[in-house]
Structure 1
Amino acid sequence: MYKHLLVATDGTRLSTKAVMHAISLAKRLGAKLTAFYAAPDYPIPMYADGIVYEPVSKKDYAAAVGKEAERILAGAAAKAKAAGVSCATVHSIAPAPWEAILAAAKKQKCDAIVMASHGRRGVSALLLGSETQKVLTHSKLPVIVIR
């Protein structure tokens, strides 16, 4: 059925549930797994009185995001390893996480995507549309949504 699953995770409880589901499915199918984390793009600097205020440099932001991604993805990889499932990890910084998820699935040659029904964005996700909804709308691959 599926040979390579991409599981999107942001470290939330629900996305961890999606990771566990993906591991279980991969184990039953003998499939590979790629855990993926998409960080939000560098925040736009604030301007006031003709001065640019950057709370953190782009370099420092990328380093902090990389560290957070490694922490989240290491947890997913450890769970997969404990279950005897091969798991690669990939992360990116992207203005639109849903696009990054689709791009990662294509680049990694995955044949299905597993993700949580919602992530960290809360009310803004309700107002703007969730990343999950956008993946469902635009994906050419099957998408398994975990609630």
Structure 2
Amino acid sequence: MYDNIICAIDGSELGTKALRYALGLAAKTGGKITAITVTDTSVIGSSGPELMMVDTGSILADLDKAKAEAARNILAEADQVAKAAGGAIVGIHITNSTAAEGILHAAKESGADLIVMGSHGRRGLGRLLLGSQAAEVLSHASIPVLIVK
């Protein structure tokens, strides 16, 4: 039924819960799981009328390095969750994208037949309703989406 599952993870408790649901489904259907984590583009902004001259190249490189390290940690933790559940995942870090765009792109590129994700991620601020990235995926996905809360 679900042979190729994309599971969005972000290091949050809800992301881990979504991964556990995906692992349970894959165990029952014999499907494979691709766990993805997405990081936004690094941007530096300045407000006000002041003109500032700053070499942002090294700052942006440091930000990208920190995001890559965080993504490696998130994927390594997901791999441990999968192994503890008797399953396996393929982990992918998608850079320079919003979460929704990265999830939808990964699903299309991999030929996924199901997307599993939390109702809101780290940016959710304790929302009671569907988070903005989950809502975006839900409204634009061409395949079923399982929202875990």
- Give the TM-score, by structure 2 length: 0.86
Instruction: Give the secondary structure class of the aligned counterpart of 1:33.
Output: strand
Taking the aligned partners of 2:74 and 2:21, their CA distance within structure 1 comes to 16
CA contact (8 A) 1:26 1:32 kept: yes
User: In 2, distance between residues paired with 1:29 and 1:22?
Assistant: 10
Aligned pairs (5 A) from 1:1-147: 1-46=1-46, 49-52=50-53, 54=56, 57-122=59-124, 130-147=132-149
Query: Following the alignment from structure 1 to structure 2, what is the Cα–Cα distance between the partners of residues 146 and 56?
Result: 38
Once structures 1 and 2 are overlaid, which stretch shifts more, 130-139 or 89-98?
89-98
SS in 2 for 1:46: coil
Deviation at 1:28, TM superposition (A): 1.1
Aligned residues: 144
Q: Secondary structure at the match of 2:2?
A: coil
In 2, Cα distance between equivalents of 1:74 and 1:37: 11
Unaligned runs of 5+ in 2: none
**Change in 2 beyond 3 A, CA 1:79/1:122:** closer
- Give identity over the alignment, percent: 38
Q: Deviations over 1:125-147 (max 9, x none)?
A: 89xx6100000000001100001
> How far apart are the structure 2 equivalents of 1:56 and 1:23?
39
What is the CA distance between 1:92 and its match in structure 2?
1.6
CA distance 1:112–1:57, shift in 2 (3 Å): same
Distance in 1, matches of 2:103 and 2:148, equals: 16
Q: The residue matched to 1:121 in structure 2 has which SS?
A: helix
Cα separation, 2, equivalents of 1:44 and 1:143: 33
Give the Cα–Cα distance (whole angstroms) in 1 for the partners of residues 82 and 29 of structure 2.
Answer: 14
Gaps of 5+ in 1: none
- Runs of 4 or more, structure 1, over 3 Å off, are 52-56
Q: 1:55 to 1:140 in 2, by over 3 A?
A: same
For normalisation by structure 1, the TM-score amounts to 0.87
Q: Does the aligned pair in 1 maintain the 2:75–2:91 contact within 8 Å?
A: yes
Name the CA distance, whole Å, in 1 between partners of 2:97 and 2:6.
20
Two-structure CA RMSD over aligned residues (Å):
2.1
Q: Deviations over 1:90-124 (max 9, x none)?
A: 0122342101110011122211100000112235x
